[in-house]
Amino acid sequence: MEFKNLISFKIIAELKSFSKAALVLGYAQSTITFHIKQLETELGVSLFDRIGNNIRLTNSGHILLEYTHRILSLSDEAKHAIVQNSSPSGMLRIAGISSLCANMLPRLIKQYNEAFPSVTISATTASKLQVLEMVNDGSADIGLYMDFEIPPKDTYTAVHIENPIYFICSAKNVLCSKNLLSIKELEGIPFIATEPQCSYRGLLTKLFTKNNIMPSIIFESENTEVIKRFVQSDLGISFLPEIAVREELAAHKLYKLNIINSIPTTYINVIHKNNQWITPAIREFFNLFN
């Protein structure tokens, strides 16, 4: 039995129509009919009863359909096992929010390229919503974004990393000399903020609202590098994730303010859509986090 004949048989059985199956498979209807005649001749049975304009499976057809599902499933399983055992190659498409593309992705890509030079990586910066859209529609294999929630396991294969958010200031700012501060003490201080659509900008707004503070935002940017430059120049303070300021904190170019108020932790989420094939290239990217 040829696979093309079994596939035609399966689609006809599902759609209960030769003409619809022909459209789905891109065949002429005469080709579809020929596939079924080949099967019926080979097996010596009728697979469909034709009643007027309708068709239905015969008893033999029902038996063959059950085996067809198993045969095609085993074929897919074999292909998957062979691909999984092969070396990563081809294209790996990554979409990530700008702060992760700037502060996390270069190290990962360098490490990946050294291990798997046959894989070509393309990376795109996007908003969190755009990252999710690109992963969901298959235009990106991997998505990187930050959120206060872990991605649902039934939808995504995911790695999540805790990523605290800090209030930061320059070494010249008088606030860096204080051991402890409350959010209330930040009222009236010039603030360099991320754009309103940013997830941790929303958290900042909630923290200020909870403490009855009207923030003095003097500058907004979606680019964390620009925000850090403004803060280093002592033009104001900001609220950024640890991964975005790790190097500057270590070099004492920026300082973390010790806030007594509780601040929720965010997560760096690295995701791949569950219903899309995990190629060796995708699998090895996730292995970087093991």
Let me know the angle formed at the C-alpha of 164 by 160 and 170, rounded to the nearest 5 degrees: 140
Contacts of 160 (CB under 8 A, 6+ apart): 150, 151, 267, 268, 269, 270
Q: Which domain-ending residue is among 85, 111, 135?
A: 85
What are the tens digits of pLDDT across the range 174-206? 998 888 999 999 999 999 999 888 878 888 888
Rounded average pLDDT over 144-168: 91
The encoded tokens of residue 46 equal 């009728």
Residue 94 domain-assigned (yes or no):
yes
Rounded average pLDDT over 63-73: 92
Residue 74 domain-assigned (yes or no):
yes
What beta strand segments (E) does 81-233 contain? 90-96, 119-125, 142-147, 156-163, 165-170, 190-194, 216-221
- The C-alpha atoms of residue 9 and residue 39 are separated, in whole angstroms, by 9
| 44 — pLDDT class (breaks 50, 70, 90) | very high
What is the predicted pLDDT for the residue at 275?
Answer: 79
3-state DSSP call for residue 108?
helix
Q: Which domain-ending residue is among 54, 85, 116?
A: 85
CATH at 140: 3.40.190.10
Task: Looking at the structure, tell me whether residues 180 and 233 fall in a common domain.
Answer: yes
Among candidates 41, 33, 31, 43, which has minimal Cα distance to 68? 43
Task: Looking at the structure, tell me whether residues 257 and 277 fall in a common domain.
Answer: no
Task: Looking at the structure, tell me whether residues 111 and 70 fall in a common domain.
Answer: no
Task: Looking at the structure, tell me whether residues 69 and 210 fall in a common domain.
Answer: no
Q: Which domain-ending residue is among 55, 85, 115?
A: 85
What is the predicted pLDDT for the residue at 85?
Answer: 64
What are the tens digits of pLDDT across the range 8-19? 999 999 999 999
What is the predicted pLDDT for the residue at 222?
Answer: 85
Task: Looking at the structure, tell me whether residues 255 and 180 fall in a common domain.
Answer: yes
Task: Looking at the structure, tell me whether residues 187 and 96 fall in a common domain.
Answer: no
Rounded average pLDDT over 246-270: 92
Give the H/E segment covering residue 157. strand 156-163
| 99 — pLDDT class (breaks 50, 70, 90) | confident
What is the predicted pLDDT for the residue at 196?
Answer: 86
Residue 160 domain-assigned (yes or no):
no
Q: Picking from 16-20, 148-152, 161-165, 251-255, which range would have the lowest pLDDT averaged per residue?
A: 148-152
Rounded average pLDDT over 245-274: 92
Radius of gyration of the chain (CA): 28
Domain housing 60? 3-85
CATH at 9: 1.10.10.10
Task: Looking at the structure, tell me whether residues 182 and 115 fall in a common domain.
Answer: no
Residue 203 domain-assigned (yes or no):
yes
Task: Looking at the structure, tell me whether residues 197 and 219 fall in a common domain.
Answer: yes
Q: What are phi and psi of 143, to 5 degrees?
A: -120, 140
Residue 256 domain-assigned (yes or no):
yes
β-partners of residue 142 are: 94
3-state DSSP call for residue 259?
strand
- The C-alpha atoms of residue 164 and residue 249 are separated, in whole angstroms, by 14
| 84 — pLDDT class (breaks 50, 70, 90) | low
Task: Looking at the structure, tell me whether residues 104 and 138 fall in a common domain.
Answer: yes
What is the predicted pLDDT for the residue at 207?
Answer: 87
Residue 36 domain-assigned (yes or no):
yes
Task: Looking at the structure, tell me whether residues 172 and 258 fall in a common domain.
Answer: yes
Indicate if the pLDDT at residue 287 is higher than 90: yes
Q: How many domains does the chain have?
A: 3
SS3 content of the chain, % helix, strand, coil (to 5): 45, 25, 30
What is the predicted pLDDT for the residue at 39?
Answer: 94
Q: Picking from 66-70, 85-89, 184-188, 254-258, which range would have the lowest pLDDT averaged per residue?
A: 85-89
Task: Looking at the structure, tell me whether residues 149 and 279 fall in a common domain.
Answer: yes
Task: Looking at the structure, tell me whether residues 41 and 118 fall in a common domain.
Answer: no
CA distances from 184 to 17, 173, 187, 207, 212 (A): 70, 17, 6, 10, 8
Cβ atoms of 21 and 12 within 8 Å: the answer is yes
Q: Kindly report the number of other CB atoms within 10 A of residue 261's CB atom.
A: 13
Mean pLDDT estimate for the chain: 91
What is the predicted pLDDT for the residue at 255?
Answer: 95
Rounded average pLDDT over 15-43: 92
